[in-house]
Structure formats: structure tokens, C-alpha cells
Structure 1
Amino acid sequence: MEPTFSVVIPTYNRAQLLARTVRAFLAQDGVPFEVIVVDDGSTDATPEVLAGFRDPRLRVLRQPNAGLASARNAGLLQARGQYVLFNDDDIVPEAGFLQAHLALHRRYPSAAAVSRTYIPDGVGQEPFVRFWRARAESGVRGRAEGASLGWGGFWFASLSLPLGVAEAFVPFRGYGWEEHELGWRLWRKGVRPRLALKARAAHEDRVSLEVMVAKSRSLGRMAWQFYRLHPHPLVALWTGVHPLARAYKRWAYPWARAERLLQVRDWEAGAGAFAAYRFVLEAAYTQGLLEGKDG
């Protein structure tokens, strides 16, 4: 029987997280599927962990380390299902996950189905984790099953779409915008991202302020690669590369203030911590925008 879903999981050096995610997918029922894990040059115990699964629905591809886009593209090329579901190795699906994706596709045949991910309590209760949890879930809070998420709603960390409309990812030189760039292309083809509210999955990523500052700064730099691929006014405004947007961000989010906040972090225990976190991340993104202009 041909699979209804081809689940593509790229991974790099996260053996234990990967084991939880693969185990949760292999426990899904009610829908024929295959799981394609693309090991992007891992040097940890990933090969041994994958060898421990004895299930014909699991296929493993290995390649030299080439990045997330390359790993996803390799899995896409091997997909045989009616739908391809991209799922990061730290996003653990709950029971009924694939059935919920299928139900949304039947309701909206040409849509991309975005999973309802959440950051579980076990990831942590530190101030920044609580901030990130609230921020990550704000985009879907209060939305109904099948709600349209707009052109920025393509979150390929856990998203499915008909195999026939799927396209390859463009590798970026750093972290950021690869998913949105493909989403922009799909949106212009008429594919709309919709929330699969019942497709719940725990995002087990242990975030920290330092890591997210680095990622935000890279996002700012990579905004220019996105814009150069798609020099559209909406992309310029969306990413902030537009001259007026950059001028505003430079004024509103000075990097010097962010550096002071990062040096002395006693403010994290105060009532204004969430606002300070937002400022620091915006300042990091702005700094990346300014750095990437001539890159």
C-alpha cells in the first residue's frame, strides 16, 4: 500500500530528541505513512539510534553535512506519499496527529496544513523560556481549526502539503527565512497555510536568550538574501530591508542599548522582562539588517 503521508525529518546531532520524535510517529495509526529521516552528517549516536528501530515504515538517508534545506530537499526527492509532511527532529507529535492533518487536507484540498505546536512545561520555566512560550503560541491563540494564517504562516518545522505542489527549499547562507521564502513562492501559486488545530505536537527545543539573539541577528542578515531572490515591495516591508523600515528600526532598537541589557541581566526577574526580551531580539534583528545590506 502506498503511503498517504511521507514524513520528512531532517536531523543533525540530536540523537535522543530524534528517538522520541521517530517513536511518536511510528505510534501513529489510522493513516498509511512512511517516515524518512535524513541524517545530515551527524557525528553523535544518531546512526545507532536509528538502527535500533525495526520498522519497515522507517527509511534512513545519510549525507555529508549540508544544512537544513539540503536535508529537507533530499527527503522530498524520496517521498512517495500523497502528502509530504516536514517535521523537525524536536517536534514530537501527539496521538491522532496524522489523522488531523489528513482531515484538514480533505477539507481544504490545496492547502498547507500547519501543526498546532506548543512548548511543554518540561522544557523549562525560566523567564526567557516563559517569554518564548508566550511568543511562539501567540500566532495561533484563539484561532479556529482551518484558520488561514496569511503569507507568513508557512512554518515548515511541522507542516504538510500535497506532494504535487511541494517545491525545493533554497539554501540560505545562514539561519533564517528559508521557510518563508518557499512559503512566498507557494502563496503566489495559490497555496494557503491553514492551522491544523487538532494536529498537536510538543516542541522540545530548549531555547536560551543567547541562542535566539544569534538567530535573530542571522535572520536580519538573511533578509537580504530573501529580498534579492524576490525584490517585491511586500517582501521589502515584511523583512524590514525597505529604507524607511530600516531607518525606523535603527532609531527604535539601538544595538548599544541591547548590549547593555545583555551585559547586566538583573532586569530578567522584573515585571518588564518580556518587553526587554522583545527589545533585545528586535535590536539583534536590526543589527543583522544593517550588517547584511552590503553582504
Structure 2
Amino acid sequence: MDFSVVIPTHNRAELITRTVTAFLAQQGVDFEVIVVDDGSTDESPQVLGALRDSRLRVLRQPNAGLAAARNAGLAQAQAQYVLFNDDDVVPEKGFLRAHLELHQRYPRSVAVSRTYIPEALGQDPFTRFWRERAESGVRGRADGSPLGWGGYWFASLSLPCRLAEPFAAFGGYGWEEHELGLRLWRKGLWPRLALGARAAHEDRVNLETMMKKARSMGRMAWQFYRMHPSPQVALWTGANPASLALKRRLYPWDRALRLLEKRGWEQGAGAFRRYRFLLEAAYTQGLLEGRGG
């Protein structure tokens, strides 16, 4: 078998149906789909039970978080490669074939999907900003391009199953994917872009939600650093006194709060610049909150 596709899900009945159906329509590759229902209380068990296909296995567990759900799926994977895919990442035709071809060309690599945010998700200022930010990392890159040690996007990537490692649990949102990516990088598994593995990231976003996530990432940066106390991680996360002092000057939280009070600026030419400031300010605030934890 070529692929074990591991998809964690929690209370996203409509999305998980679309994603699994799109995977089951893939051709030219031998695969299984392992959905880990992480304690859903919506209609997810029912809609998954209605999908009759011998290639689909559904595991159910009490709600334990994304890392635990991915690890449960990994423990059941039987194929040559494991592909981690979020429940809101819907693959297009030829997706798995593109992953397989990249692995055949680069045997010790991690294949990263070419995800994009569909235009149908919105054209409001923040969605346009997030679309630009999310897709900028791979825009213009050729198939097989190395993505560097920050290029592990576990929303959708694959790697040799025998070299995969479990995710470490973090106390909040942020850095658990990067932490595993750092371990894989140190093992000589480098991320490369599978350009033909296109998938729609059906993730509706807004400023408030992403600031909350950025703030949590700031808090979790210290846990990441404690796990890997190195200059590399300190500089990457900003979890060090020098970086924190600089960020406090550049991204003061009181200015962020003033911007959030009156948001007429969102319709102006400088909206993207202010969005970047707000996300950095939220991250910095999280760093300040988490440094003593």
C-alpha cells in the first residue's frame, strides 16, 4: 500500500464528508483513509458511518486534542507513506499521485501539499490578507523545491511511515507541528513542495480568531524552547530576552488595542500592514504571558 491518509476531525461533519469523499475519489494510488474522530458531538459519527468504502477506517476517541488524534492515526498506519491531512483541506484530482511521484524522486523527503484558500471563502480585507500570507511561501516555486526548516505544514504533508514520529502535546495552540518538523529536519528529512498536490484549504478566518491563535503561539513558544533549548529555537520563536525586548518596542499592545477599537482603517490601503502589526502584537503579548510558565 502506498499511503495511509490520517485525518483528525472534531465537530466538522460537513467538511469531513467533503474531504474524505475527495480522497476516496483519488486514482492511480493504493491507499487507506484513517479518520480519527476526536470526541465529536455533532453529526460526524453519523456521516462518517454512512460512507461505505473498504479503504476507510474510522477511529473514535474522547476529545484529547489534535496531537493525540494524529498520533492515534499514525499508530494504525500500515502503508509505505503516511499523509497527515486536516479535515478542512480538500484534495484535488491527482493529489496523492503527486505526493507519490515526489517521494520517488526524493526518497528522504517530506512532501508538502500546494494548499490555497478558495476565492469563494470571501473577499473581505482580512481574508484577502490571509490568502496572500498563507500562499506567499510557495508562490513561484518549482515542483520539488526545498522549503527550509520552517516548511513543515502538517495541515497536509506526507513522509515515509517508518521515519514518522509522534507529535508532542502542547498546552495550547501553536508550535507542535514545528517541533516535530524540527525533529524530522535533524533526522535529514527535508520538506519539499509537491506542486501538483493541490488542495483547497476551506478554513474561514477572521482577525479575532487569528489574533487569539497568535497569542497562544506566543505562550507556547516557551514550551517549544524548553523542549529544544538552542539558539536556533530561541531566535525562531523570539523566546529570549533580547528578542522579547525588541518586540515589546515594535509591537506595543496598547497600540493594538487602539487599532481594534476603531477599524475604519480596514478599508484603506494600509490594512495589510496593520493586520501584520496586530498579529505580531498578539504574539508578543503571548510571549510576555508565557515567559514565566
Give the alignment partner of residue 175 of structure 2, picking from 156, 174, 177: 177
Give the TM-score taking structure 1 as reference length.
0.99
Percent identical among aligned pairs is 74
Give the alignment partner of residue 63 of structure 2, picking from 59, 62, 65: 65
Q: Give the unaligned 5+ runs of structure 2.
A: none
- Where does residue 245 of structure 2 map in the other structure? 247
In 1, the alpha carbon distance for the partners of 2:129 and 2:213 equals 16
- Alignment of structure 1 residues 1-295 onto 2, 5 Å: 3-295=1-293
In 2, the alpha carbon distance for the partners of 1:46 and 1:171 equals 24
- The alpha-carbon deviation at position 242 of structure 1 amounts to 1.9
- The alpha-carbon deviation at position 142 of structure 1 amounts to 1.0
3-state SS, counterpart of residue 197 of structure 2: strand
In 1, the alpha carbon distance for the partners of 2:216 and 2:79 equals 34
- The alpha-carbon deviation at position 235 of structure 1 amounts to 0.3
Q: Give the unaligned 5+ runs of structure 1.
A: none
3-state SS, counterpart of residue 184 of structure 1: helix
In 1, the alpha carbon distance for the partners of 2:124 and 2:146 equals 32
Task: Output one character per residue of 1:92-140: Cα deviation in whole Å (capped at 9) or x when no partner.
Answer: 0000000000000000001000000000001111100000000000100
In 2, the alpha carbon distance for the partners of 1:259 and 1:23 equals 43
In 2, the alpha carbon distance for the partners of 1:107 and 1:242 equals 39
3-state SS, counterpart of residue 129 of structure 1: helix
3-state SS, counterpart of residue 80 of structure 1: coil
Q: Which amino acid aligns with 2:99?
A: H
Runs of 4+ in 1 over 2 A off after TM superposition: none
Give the TM-score taking structure 2 as reference length.
0.99
3-state SS, counterpart of residue 18 of structure 2: helix
- The alpha-carbon deviation at position 264 of structure 1 amounts to 1.1
3-state SS, counterpart of residue 114 of structure 1: strand
In 2, the alpha carbon distance for the partners of 1:235 and 1:168 equals 20
- The alpha-carbon deviation at position 262 of structure 1 amounts to 1.1
- The alpha-carbon deviation at position 250 of structure 1 amounts to 0.5
More divergent stretch after superposition (63-72 vs 237-246): 237-246
3-state SS, counterpart of residue 104 of structure 2: helix
